[in-house]
Amino acid sequence: MEISGRKVAVVGMGGVFPNCSNIEEFERKIFDNQSLIRSWDKIQQFGKNVRSTVAGYITEEEMNLSPVYASHLINYPETYIDHLNRIPTANLATADLGSIWAMLAAQDAIKMSGWNTTETQSELTGVLVGTGGSGSGEILRSAWNNFFELGKKSRALGTHNVDRAMVYRDTANISCLIKNRGICESIGSACATGLGNIGYAYRLIKFGLQDRVVAGGTEGTSIESFLGFDAMYVLSKDFKPEESSRPFDMHRNGFVCSFGAGVVCLEAYDIAKARGANILGVIDSYFNNGDGDGDMFYPSFNGQQRLWQGLLSNTNIKPDVVKVHGTSTPAGDAIELFSIVDQLGDKGYHISAPKSQFGHMLGAAGAVEFIASILMLQRQEVLPCLNSDTLNPELENFQKKDDWTGPKEPVLAYRDLLPQQCLKKEINHIACLNYGFGGTNSSILISKA
């Protein structure tokens, strides 16, 4: 049962972002209407074997890391060197690239929160950080290539393959780094993972099971992830890098595969207030559900309708901004837009699509976009739907079907909701949406402190 009146505050955040050295550069670039997407040289070397060649990628060098390759194996990164000495050697040995990013993001978030060692190592401090799952691909690919193709002995692969590839590796590494004694888990829900972990953390505090939680999502740079989506024909192609991610634009043809990490520190509002914390925002509500239609990939208008109803069921709040999932997929964007209009009408708010600037970070997407939403609250600015240049003036095919119950106007009718550049306005409340394969949907409502 919820503790009556218990609110949850956001007191810290940190991350690893494409083409940025820190969160300050990330903030400056995205509010300057810039794109963080680039041509990816590692993919271009495969020529016509790959359809898409752009990504929001991050190199080890950009994060001041160097892989240490095993001398007796081929292309196997045995561990990493942190040239800035941010993470102890023992913790680097158990981590893949995404877990290292998660630890760096957690360190920054904890520093911003002002928590001391007593607080981080408390039984009332939890860790909940997840991933989309494929970021360990480089380590596993190299390990099994050495075993199956090159005939190396299993013991030659070292003792850390399991811990560097297990589903819960990101939380495990953060927990071992900060030595918390509270709940230590990872929620996996495909592209809703980042927001799902934050939402679960909110519930743990709201229900009095924890006083503070480190929460978020991460996705290490992985060619395996990229190739899997490219094989599905769902990645953007044939645009300039900075124009490749184009939510709601009628010429969109897929999403941009990206990588990164986002971690936030949540705390019971009364505790944060009592210690004089800088409260960045407040979480008012979290709701998640499943589509229930048996379709692994196609978005569900009904599922999103029910998501909205659950999010707003116990509040009179109407958001000033809706931070959408907005991947640039042909069906997904239109259905998401119509589900918003069906719930909120066509006036009085704006829609922000951060993926238009940095692509789709998979398991990290919801957490990094949550951070972008907190920044929108702080700056009182709406991030744009970049590249939404031409909106469809005709009805979508699914709108023409007899069983369609949503809005009857085309996407173009809602041009005013979709700013193409950063927009200054009063923002008190933001709704954040993220969806994933298998029909999983997550939503969270945040407000100014």
* pLDDT at 133 (0 to 100): 75
Residues of the chain with pLDDT under 50: none
Q: CATH assignment of 8-447?
A: 3.40.47.10
Place of tokens 């596993």: 140
* pLDDT at 51 (0 to 100): 97
* pLDDT at 1 (0 to 100): 66
Q: Is 328 left (phi over 0), alpha (psi -120 to 50) or beta?
A: left
* pLDDT at 60 (0 to 100): 95
Domain parsing of the chain, residue ranges: 8-447
Give the pTM: 0.97
Burial readout 208-230 (b: 16 or more C-beta within 10 A, e: otherwise): eebbbbbbbbbbbbbbebbbebb
Would you state the structure tokens that stand for residue 421, as one six-digit string? 């550049």
Q: What is the pLDDT of residues 335-354, one digit of tens each?
A: 999 999 999 999 999 999 99
* pLDDT at 135 (0 to 100): 61
Q: What is the pLDDT of residues 15-55, one digit of tens each?
A: 999 999 999 999 999 999 999 999 999 999 999 999 999 99
Place of tokens 């016509």: 48
Cα 344 to its chain centre, rounded Å, is 24
Helix (H, G, I), strand (E, B) or coil at 279: coil
* pLDDT at 159 (0 to 100): 87
What is the distance between the alpha carbons of residues 361 and 57, in angstroms, rounded to a whole number?
A: 9
* pLDDT at 314 (0 to 100): 85
Catalytic annotation, residues:
191, 325, 360
